[in-house]
């Protein structure tokens, strides 16, 4: 009988250090921080972090076999160690897409595996490993930030409400955005902590006190170590990047039309080899058509809500409140080839054991691509 896996370290590849680090100026304002690790002559893979605004951490290298992959990590505009920190100027979805191409060209990479989301041109993507299917429709945003998850985590919702006067609570995202863009450092920091704490409190099947404590710390932004060398002002700005950039994208609907990511032309772009494994809840197996009419088994791990969705499967999955289950259902309708199979014991975080295991397995599948 095999021993159950009980730690992330038992699932992830061993820790490694980058063999290259650098900064890439992508506009007159923005400079991206990036790193490359693993096999210098290996198969290129680029890791795209969440948020937007979350930044990367050293653990993100460990989803990939370092003997096989040339692993590229970078902080998107305003996130992590990219500068200027927490900037929302010249920071849109389409700026991020262009940045990824600039980084690929800078590193002289022809094609790569994209891990995280479809943020590159299809003719430069060998395969997709997507996590956290979230289409930024107003209904999805409202479920988490206005009226939905509030009914499941009421005690943490009260903490999220606290910084906002009752007169502004009819649009919580707007109220938080106004504070996260305030000239007052204390107002910004208070709002950033409350926003981040709400997300950390609801991101796992079981509430993780350590995550909540980290969100309440000025140094939090990257799931990274404290930054003792930085000034208090810089650390607070660093902390606020996650909340500030998220709010900026969300009040602007991701700079996309409502439902754009579920339109036919968007779905058609998914027809490259892809193994979509994300934030939590629904595992979708599909036969994806490739060039020359070849096909292969891929899977899409899609966010699920904290409720039971009945499907013809031996498993019953649930518990992502950050990304509503409606997204998975609507993706299924737009992409009928998907077969949904629920995965048990998973919330939203990529660091939960069932999800982490699936992500590593997804990357392993493409080692021979």
Q: Which residues are catalytic?
A: 118, 320, 348
Residue from 55, 63, 76, 50 nearest 134 by CA: 50
Q: Which residues pair with 285 in a beta bridge?
A: 299, 339
Cα three-residue angle 180-185-189, rounded to 5 degrees: 55
Judge whether 322 and 303 are in contact, CB under 8 Å: yes
Q: Which pair of structure tokens corresponds to residue 93?
A: 């979805």
Which strands make up the sheet holding 281-289, listed edge to edge?
295-303, 281-289, 339-342
What is the C-alpha to C-alpha distance for residues 32 and 9, in angstroms, rounded to an integer? 29
Which residues are 284's β-sheet partners? 300, 340
Cis peptide before 84 (omega within 30 of 0): yes
Q: Report the sign of the C-alpha dihedral through residues 40, 226, 23, 242, in that order.
A: positive
50 neighbors 133 (Cβ within 8 angstroms): no
């Amino acid at each position: 009988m095999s021993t159950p896996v009980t730690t992330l370290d038992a699932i992830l590849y061993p820790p490694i250090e980058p063999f290259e680090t650098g900064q890439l100026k992508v506009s007159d304002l923005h400079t991206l921080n990036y790193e490359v690790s693993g096999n210098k002559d290996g198969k290129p893979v680029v890791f795209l972090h969440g948020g937007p605004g979350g930044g990367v951490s050293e653990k993100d290298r460990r989803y990939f076999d370092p003997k096989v992959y040339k692993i590229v990590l970078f902080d998107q505009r305003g996130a992590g160690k990219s500068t200027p920190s927490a900037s929302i100027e010249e920071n849109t979805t389409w700026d991020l897409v262009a940045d990824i191409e600039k980084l690929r060209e800078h590193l002289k990479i022809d094609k790569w595996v994209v891990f995280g989301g479809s943020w590159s041109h299809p003719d430069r993507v060998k395969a997709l490993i997507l996590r956290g299917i979230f289409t930024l429709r107003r209904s999805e945003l409202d479920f988490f930030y206005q009226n939905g998850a509030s009914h499941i985590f009421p005690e943490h919702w009260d903490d999220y409400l606290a910084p906002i006067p009752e007169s502004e609570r009819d649009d919580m995202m707007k109220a938080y955005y106004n504070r996260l863009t305030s000239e007052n450092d204390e107002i910004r920091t208070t709002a950033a902590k409350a926003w981040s704490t709400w997300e950390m409190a609801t991101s796992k099947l079981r509430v993780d006190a350590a995550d909540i404590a980290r969100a309440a710390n000025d140094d939090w932004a990257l799931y990274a170590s404290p930054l003792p060398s930085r000034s208090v002002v810089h650390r607070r700005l660093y902390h606020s990047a996650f909340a500030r950039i998220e709010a900026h994208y969300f009040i602007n609907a991701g700079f996309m039309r409502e439902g754009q990511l579920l339109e036919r032309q968007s779905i058609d772009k998914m027809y490259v080899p892809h193994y979509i494994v994300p934030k939590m809840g629904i595992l979708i197996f599909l036969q994806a058509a490739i060039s020359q009419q070849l096909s292969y088994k891929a899977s899409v791990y899609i966010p699920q809500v904290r409720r039971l969705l009945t499907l013809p499967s031996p498993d019953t999955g649930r518990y992502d409140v950050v990304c509503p289950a409606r997204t998975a259902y609507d993706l299924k309708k737009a992409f009928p080839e998907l077969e949904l199979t629920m995965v048990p014991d998973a919330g939203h975080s990529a660091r939960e054991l069932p999800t982490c295991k699936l992500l590593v397995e997804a990357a392993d599948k493409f080692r021979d691509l």
